[in-house]
Chains A and B, each alone.
Chain A
Amino acid sequence: MATLPVQRPDATDVEAGPPTPPKQRRRRGRRVSATSGARYPRWYWPAFAAPGIIWLGVLFVLPLYVVISIAFGTIDPLFRTPVPTWNPAWWDTTALRTLLGHIFGSDAFLAPAFVRTFAYVTVATALCLLVAYPVAYFVARYAGRRKVFYLLLLVAPFWISYMMRMLAWVNLLSTDGLLNRGLVGTGLIGGPVNWLDGRASTVVLGLTYGYVPYMALPLFAALDRIDPSLLEASRDLGASRARTFWRVTLPMSRPAILAGLVITALPMFGDYFTNDLLSGSPGTSMVGNLINDAVSTPGQAITGAVLVVLLMVILLIPMLWYVRATARADTEAGR
């Protein structure tokens, strides 16, 4: 459920909004913002935003600092609870160095989980794009009068609980599930296969199934906004269907593809429940599983906190890119 930079409702809303032509609108907008400061008391608009800003400051930014303080803190020897070190000057990097040793050093027993995470997320995100693009393209371009119907079905997975969608697959893939019955019944396999005993393919397919709607919706929004007359022009100038797609549609949807890749991959990096439900074996565990296991084990809080900090560092660049792209789309829509 992502509002993406590519789906700002500017195109539709300029048509449907106030009947001022865009040019005039732009000029008036500027004049208004130049004078509005004089009409409103200085504190007036900030006062509206203040509760939300303070809320996020106290319950989002501050807890992130707590995680860092715990990652560089100590453990109470008696109660096994973490003791955060608030002052950066006294931060203790032992835990971080130990963990990095477990990832890169000679006893790198955590390295496979990191490699797996990148491999699974890469493959699953690529599959999401390969599946979602044709579907989004079809619904945006060719669905015609049935567009609303298709769109409803496309959006439906958002409103179906993720846990239920995974439960559905657990039912289908279990040893006495319908998939095994079908395969055994048609003679394709000799006996039932336990698909849920820790197979990488099951986990990757589960991730793809779980997150493909996050890819489909931004792609649909972007493809739906491409002016069909551009495609008609390309076809009229003699380009084939494939060439029109390659030279016009694909370049125009590139920002949406990028945004979709980021918005699909980010939550996958923090996913541990798909793995737990569809495999449950340490042989497929990802970074998310490491974090969840550490946080749920008494005395392992520091490890959990260090892993969360590492994950944040890894994801910092895609997150900042996304925030910047969204902010820029906002500014463009506002001017």
Chain B
Amino acid sequence: MKLRKYVIGLAVLAVTAAGCSSKSATDDGGTDSGGVKTGPGVTADKITLGALTDLTGVYATLGKSITQAQQLYFEQLNQAGGVCGRDVELLVRDHGYDVQKAVGAYTELQPKVVGLPQVIGSPIMAAIAENVAKDKVLTIPAAWPSQLLKVPYVQIVGGTYELEMINGVDFLVREKGLKKGDKIGHVYFEGEYGESALAGAKFAAEKAGLTVVEQRIKPTDNDMTSQVSALKSEGVKAILMSAGPRQSASLAGVAAAGGLNVPIVSNNPGYSPQLLGTPAAKALEANFYYISATQPPSSDAPAMAKLVGDYTKKYPKDVFDGGATFGYVSAKVFGESLKKACDSKDLTREGVYKALQTQSAFDSEGLMPVLDFSKPGQVGTRESIIQRPDSKAKGGLVEATEPFTSDAAKEFDLG
């Protein structure tokens, strides 16, 4: 009998208490005193954005650079008066490249933010992609596979892995004297990153009459000795690299020691300036090239000098790298979209997404090529800049070519 009373009591409690649960009040936003439509993530004095980053996992260096550069941008934006009379705040969550933690963090952040200027990790992006589309959260991933171009509300800033490799092969043919019938090696990570890059490499190789010798590796493989000897016995004339900085250093060092003296061309996640402090520095300076859509820190664009100065002033202990440039530009893409959304008096998620698409020539003041966000499903730019390590230069990188788009990259179908 007591049990039944207990259950009934509990049920009554639940019914009455649920009435005053904060969840029952649904908040669909509204319109503020200035006539600006607002939604989730926007209050009277604050606009909140979110970042799902990796500060403790495999991409910790990249995550730290991007996050710090984004915090720098929003700080400067707020000092200049913010957007729509509101401060912009970045909520950062570290997932350590763990999908479960990232999904938990997304679920927590989603109701609080207008958009996500940073999501690191292609498995993580894949895990939240459906919810991003459902919740209409504008997201900028720190991953560049072409598949992401098709996902609604996801905006790639820069080129894609495919385009980088296509431009890289073109560079090898034009500048490094590769000819029809030559073999090129491609060392790539299993998973979306490596496979996207491989698709680009194969496309460009076919156009140029080259053959690709594939070497698939795992992110945990750090010693490239067996890959180098396999490529050497195949007689490759150049090596493409779609892996992490550690693998690049190992490959360059082992190849130089083993007498395989060929150019190595890597995708943008495959290099970090810290490598110049390792014993592989000499080999890297001799043979290594790195493709990216961001300008190297030694670029003479005035915005770059200012960014490097501000960044090193705020974070004196950290090395300025390509991740920081990307982080700054992607934060700026968000900042400009928010400003445009404010002008058209619609700060809802939908409004910010529309504002992004009004920008057909986004100007990052020379930090990146001009980006076109007006065509959903298309890439913002097909240009790449080939760079090479140089320990004497600022940021350890110098330009090897001007920004360019190869003919093959122009005709590559991104699907």
The answer to whether A and B assemble together is no
